[in-house]
Amino acid sequence: MKIHNFSAGPSILPESTIKNSADAVLNFAGTGLSLLEVSHRGKEFVAVMDEALALFKELLDIPAGYEVVFVGGGASTQFCMVPYNLMQKKAAYLNTGTWANKALKEAKGFGEVVEVASSKDSVYNHIPKGYEIPSDADYFHITTNNTIYGTEIKTDLDVNVPLVADMSSDIFSRPVDVSKYTLIYGGAQKNLAPAGVTFAIVKTDALGKVDRHIPTMLDYRTHIDAGSMFNTPPVFPIYSALQTLKWLKEMGGVSAMEKINIEKAAVLYDEIDRNRLFKAPVVNVEDRSLMNICFIMNDEYKELEKEFFDFASSRGMSGIKGHRSVGGFRASTYNAMPKSSIQALVDCMKEFEAKH
Amino acid sequence: MKIHNFSAGPSILPESTIKNSADAVLNFAGTGLSLLEVSHRGKEFVAVMDEALALFKELLDIPAGYEVVFVGGGASTQFCMVPYNLMQKKAAYLNTGTWANKALKEAKGFGEVVEVASSKDSVYNHIPKGYEIPSDADYFHITTNNTIYGTEIKTDLDVNVPLVADMSSDIFSRPVDVSKYTLIYGGAQKNLAPAGVTFAIVKTDALGKVDRHIPTMLDYRTHIDAGSMFNTPPVFPIYSALQTLKWLKEMGGVSAMEKINIEKAAVLYDEIDRNRLFKAPVVNVEDRSLMNICFIMNDEYKELEKEFFDFASSRGMSGIKGHRSVGGFRASTYNAMPKSSIQALVDCMKEFEAKH
Ligand SMILES: Cc1ncc(COP(=O)(O)O)c(C=O)c1O
Ligand SMILES: Cc1ncc(COP(=O)(O)O)c(C=O)c1O
Ligand SMILES: [Mg+2]
Ligand SMILES: [Mg+2]
Ligand SMILES: [Mg+2]
Ligand SMILES: [Mg+2]
């Protein structure tokens, strides 16, 4: 049976990423050695790193004055690296979900944190608007895509202070005007790579402005200066990331991807809206995520939740359980998810409706 | 041509680690999905994590009161995590090499650092002895195996303060009396796994004694409490680590490994000593590393260095160039290195001697 992988992360990757990664584990770049056992300073891996960084920049059209780094530790480590490097006294955060809230809390260890707005009281079912950002904040932090709640900030905001974004779960899903951001970071394990590598896009002139001592490995400067090779980088996840970047380029890049993602999401949201059994907890259409599509049973059909889960699972739908903090269902539809898998899920929903 | 992989790290891994890792990239635990695209919270990967942690403890015979964690960021991130978690005011460091020195320097950001002894002036060609450790030091930090210079502390020291060890390049090469240490850590990319996962063995009652605020991801407690699943762990490197641990168990564990490592190293050191062309920079036999065996041309044959490198390379010897900071040659002979590869290198040395 074909398994349709709707996992929220780690999550579906292009078939070429998987195949090329497996091949390299057995024989890397014709060396006769495994990718797992070669020096990261050997010319073959240095070429991988160089190409991955270059393609990352090219595909997001990253302007001069920015550098890209690959590090370990996950997006969760960025929650402290951001204030470590950028907060002198005060930072502003938009609280749009579990991850946004964790980032906000972590920053409190470094100075004053202003929560400019929060959708927590309504279980994060929308993106707050109309807030004010203190003009003396060192930066304003947003989480563009809220993986758990299925909301997304799909445009690049214009704000009055440096903008920092966690794009863990929507990087490379659409074109981004990087010039509007001071820092963009994310765990790569959704749209780019297997778990184990984290990316950061850093406006270099924003660094070096805080007084505190920064441990070497937490200083973006360390990784920028060393081309992400200050210490042993996560070799295998970076190799896989390069395979995804190559696939993305072949697919037409982020503009083409955005078009497909809009189409894919529409198919599923339309069915959720139409189908009498289901509804979307995110009501504002403009806030609905194109990457993580949440849906729940309508109140009259609450008791069918487990039955639908079992039915869909029996048809090969995998990873569709909603996050434990919200329940219901979540279909993650990252770049590598084919339309046919979304159609398969929609077919399940229709068939299940016909039965009830 | 058979390639003999003497790389210092990332480095040779057991064939079964490589084969099983490649297989899991294509189909993980019969899920029909790739190991690269499944949730780390799925039951299949949770089982991998549990087994890896249990086997890690079993093979090193880790006593009660200690926990093992897998994190990202490399051993270099541990250089700051150690003082973050353990240094209240003052720490003592033994300076035995480039990595020991980096660890020492990093600690200076957190309090007073006492260098109890250093072999830096003699290009780190021995392990200093007869030093005194201030009795008010919060811990004493050693680097048991100095990957670059080929020296090793092969016994578990008895010291008057909590002992912390970087065992990046000799973990699992011999039995360790863990009860003598408060913390043992290392990058896993030598004797255990591909790059991207770092281990720490932590005596839990040593934690919680410092006043400073510790960022969540830098606090060992975070990872202990969450069973190394606080955030997305480096899934693939951990899977590979498990394969190596299984292999190690089949081989008879660390005692069997130590015996083989002693035999393997003797074959190469004996040839270095005997051969008129070569010598070992590490003169004290008890300081000679069993994992990284350094050798240089004797003074009269200095100009033959490049010729020997080319000759050995043409015979399939890979990764034998000494670190750029010391020159000469370095053969890393980690657990997975078969005796036959060491014999192949020795044969090269003999043949080269016969020609000159
Ligand atoms: C938006 C967002 N931020 C941060 C994280 C945490 O990432 P990591 O597990 O790499 O620390 C996640 C993980 O799912 C996420 O979705
Ligand atoms: C003894 C020792 N410590 C620390 C390191 C640094 O490890 P990482 O690259 O994982 O930061 C190395 C790397 O070779 C090492 O050999
Ligand atoms: Mg969220
Ligand atoms: Mg509906
Ligand atoms: Mg060293
Ligand atoms: Mg000799």
- Answer with the one of B229, B250, B271 that is the final residue of a domain: B250
Question: Are B241 and B92 within one domain?
Answer: yes
Neighbours of B282 (CB within 10 A): 25
Q: A287 CB less than 6 Å from ligand 1? A: no
Distance from CA of A264 to the nearest CA of B (A): 20
Query: Whose CA is closest to atom 10 on ligand 1?
Result: A74
Residue closest to B29 by CA, chosen among B50, B13, B43, B15 = B43
Q: Which helix (H) or strand (E) holds B114?
A: strand B112-118
pLDDT value at B185 more than 90: yes
Q: Which residues contact B236 (CB under 8 A, 6 or more apart)?
A: A194, A195, A196, A236, A237, B21, B25, B35, B36, B194, B196
Of B173, B174, B197, B175, the closest CA to residue B186 belongs to B197
Report the share of chain A in percent with pLDDT over 70.
Answer: 100
Instruction: From B199, B215, B190, select the one nearest B292 (Cα to Cα).
Output: B190
Core vs surface per residue B245-264: b (16+ CB within 10 A) or e: bbbbeeeebbeebbebbeeb
Same-domain pairing of B228 and B136: yes
In a domain, B331, yes or no: yes
Query: Does the pLDDT at position A211 exceed 90?
Result: yes
- Residue A335's pLDDT is 98
A1 domain-assigned: no
B30: left (phi > 0), else alpha (psi -120 to 50), else beta?
A: left
Structural domain includes residue B10 = no
Q: Which of A18, A109, A189 is the closest to B215 by Cβ?
A: A109
Does residue A232 have a known ligand-binding role?
yes
Q: In this structure, what token pair is assigned to residue A66? A: 């920015």
What's the gap in Å between the CA of A111 and the closest CA on chain B? Answer: 12
- The confidence score (pLDDT) of residue B325 equals 80
Q: Which residues pair with A114 in a beta bridge?
A: A92
- Rounded to whole angstroms, how far apart are CA atoms B34 and A318? 13
Residue A80, min C-alpha distance to chain B (Å): 6
**How would residue B180 be classed by pLDDT, with cut points 50, 70 and 90?**
very high
Ligand 2 pocket mutation pick from B7, B79, B99 by most atoms within 8 angstroms of CB: B99
Check the annotation: does A76 bind a ligand. Answer: yes
Distance A166 CA to ligand 1 centre (A): 8
pLDDT band, residue A287 (cuts 50/70/90): very high
Q: What is the pLDDT of residues B261-296, one digit of tens each?
A: 999 999 999 999 999 999 999 999 999 999 999 999
CA A120 to centroid of chain Cα atoms:
20
Is pLDDT above 90 for A324? no
Residue A38 lies in a domain: yes
Q: Are B175 and B152 in contact (CB under 8 A)?
A: no
Same-domain pairing of A90 and A110:
yes
Ligand 1 in reach of A187 Cβ (< 6 A): yes
- Residue length, chain B? 356
pLDDT reported for residue A232:
98
Q: How far is CA A348 from each of CA A276, A320, A331, B16, B221, rounded to the nearest angstrom?
A: 14, 12, 13, 41, 44
Q: How far is B45 from chain A (nearest CA, A)?
A: 11
The stretches of A210-280 forming alpha helices (DSSP H) are: 220-225, 235-250, 253-274
Whether residue B166 lies in the annotated active site = yes
- Give residue A331's identity as a one-letter amino acid code: A
Cα–Cα distance, A322 to B345 (Å, whole number)? 56
Q: If 0-12 CB within 10 Å is exposed, 13-18 middle and 19+ buried, where does residue A328 land?
A: buried
pLDDT at B326 over 90: no
Cross-strand pairs, B297 = B278
ipTM of the complex: 0.98
Q: Which two tokens mark A42?
A: 């050997």
Look at residues A250, A278, A301 and tell me which one is the last residue of a structural domain: A250
Domain boundary among A250, A273, A292: A250
Contacts of A72 in chain B (CB under 8 A): 72-74, 77, 196, 198, 234
Calpha distance A345→A268 (Å, rounded): 8
Q: For atom 5 of ligand 1, which residue has the closest CA?
A: A75
Residues B243, B258 within the same domain: no
| Residue A59 domain flag | yes
Q: Are residues A70 and A160 in the same domain?
A: yes
User: Is B7 within a domain?
Assistant: no
Question: Measured between alpha carbons, how far is A29 from B176 in angstroms, rounded to an integer?
Answer: 37
Residues 6+ apart with CB under 8 A from A81: A185, A200, A218, A220
Task: Give the mean model confidence (pLDDT) for residues B293-303.
Answer: 97
Name every chain B residue with its beta carbon within 8 A of the beta carbon of A196.
Answer: 72, 196-197, 233-237
CATH number of the structural domain spanning residue A71 = 3.40.640.10
Q: Quote the CA–CA distance of A170 and B97 in Å, as a whole number.
A: 43
Q: Are B63 and B79 in contact (CB under 8 A)?
A: no
Q: What is the pLDDT of residues B303-321, one digit of tens each?
A: 999 999 999 999 999 999 9
- Cβ-based contacts of B190 with chain A (< 8 Å): none
A98-108: pLDDT as tens digits: 999 999 999 99
Region at A208 (left for phi over 0; alpha for psi -120 to 50; beta for the rest): left
Q: Which of residues 70-109 of A touch B (CB under 8 A)?
A: 71-77, 79-80, 84, 106, 109
Overall number of domains in chain A: 2
Nearest in space to B290 (alpha carbons), one of B145, B166, B157: B145
Residues A36 and A143 in one domain: yes
DSSP per residue, B217-262: GG-HHHHHHTTT-SS---HHHHHHHHHHHHHHHHTTHHHHHHHHHH
DSSP code, position A161: S
Q: Please tell me the predicted confidence (pLDDT) of residue B324.
A: 82
Ligand 2 site-directed mutation target among B94, B98, B168, most atoms within 8 Å of CB: B168
pLDDT (tens digit per residue) in B73-84: 999 999 999 999
> How far is Cα B291 from Cα B152, in angstroms, rounded to an integer?
8
What pLDDT does residue A136 have? 98
Interface check B5 vs A, CB under 8 A: yes
The Cα–Cα gap between B227 and B209 comes to 21
Residues of A annotated as catalytic are 99, 166, 190
A217 CA from centroid of ligand 6 (Å): 41
CB B81 within 8 A of CB B220: yes
For the record, the structure tokens of B307 come out as: 């010729």
Query: CB B121: neighbour CB atoms within 10 A?
Result: 7
Structure tokens at A39: 């020096």
Residues A243 and A264 in one domain: no
CA–CA distance, B333 with B293 (Å, rounded to integer): 7
The predicted model gives A257-279 an average pLDDT of 98
- Say whether pLDDT at B188 is over 90: yes
Condensed to tens digits (0 to 9), the pLDDT of residues A95-152 reads 999 999 999 999 999 999 999 999 999 999 999 999 999 999 999 999 999 999 999 9
**A348/B88 Cα distance (integer angstroms):** 59
Q: Are residues A232 and A318 in the same domain?
A: no
In angstroms, the first-to-last Cα distance of chain A is 25
Beta-strand runs (E) in chain A: 4-5, 66-71, 90-95, 112-118, 140-143, 145-146, 151-152, 163-166, 183-187, 198-203, 278-279, 292-297, 317-318, 329-332
How many Cβ atoms from other residues are within 10 Å of residue A17's Cβ? 28
Pocket of ligand 2 (CB under 6 A): A 231-232; B 9, 74-76, 99, 143, 147, 166, 168-169, 187
Residues 6+ apart with CB under 8 A from B231: A74, A75, A76, A187, B217
Q: Do A224 and A351 lie in a common domain?
A: no
CA A53, A54, A56, A62 torsion-angle sign: positive
Which range marks the domain in which residue B55 is found?
Answer: 15-250
Q: Are residues A233 and A323 in the same domain?
A: no
List the Cα angle B1/B7/B176 in 5-degree steps: 130
Mean pLDDT in residue range B13-31: 97
pLDDT tens figures, B204-215? 999 999 999 999
Distance of CA A11 to the CA centre of its chain: 10
Task: Give the pLDDT score at A325.
Answer: 80
Interface size between A and B, measured as CB pairs under 8 A: 196
Contacting residues for A220 by C-beta, under 8 A, at least 6 apart: A69, A81, A85, A200, A202, A207
Residues B162 and B192 in one domain: yes
Return the CATH number at A341.
3.90.1150.10
Joined together, the tokens standing for residue A195 give 């778990």
Judge contact between B213 and A110, C-beta under 8 A: no
Which one of A104, A153, A168 would you pick to mutate in the ligand 1 pocket, going by the greatest count of ligand atoms within 8 A of its CB? A168
For residues A295 and A275, give the distance between their C-alpha atoms in angstroms, rounded to a whole number: 11
Q: What one-character-per-residue DSSP string does B10-25 give? A: S----HHHHHHHHHHH
Tokens of residue B343, six digits: 């014999």
Indicate yes or no: CB of A217 within 8 angstroms of CB of B9: no
Nearest 5°: the CA angle A105, A111, A115 is 50
Active-site entry in B138, B154, B190, B287: B190
Specify if B258 maps to a domain: yes
pLDDT at B202: 98
Q: Which two tokens stand for residue B301?
A: 């044959």
The verdict on B344 and B222 lying in the same domain is: no
Q: Tell me if B233 is assigned to some domain.
A: yes
Give pLDDT, residue A326.
84
A80/B215 CB distance under 8 A: yes
CB contact under 8 A, B18 and A38: no
The total number of residues written for chain A in this structure: 356
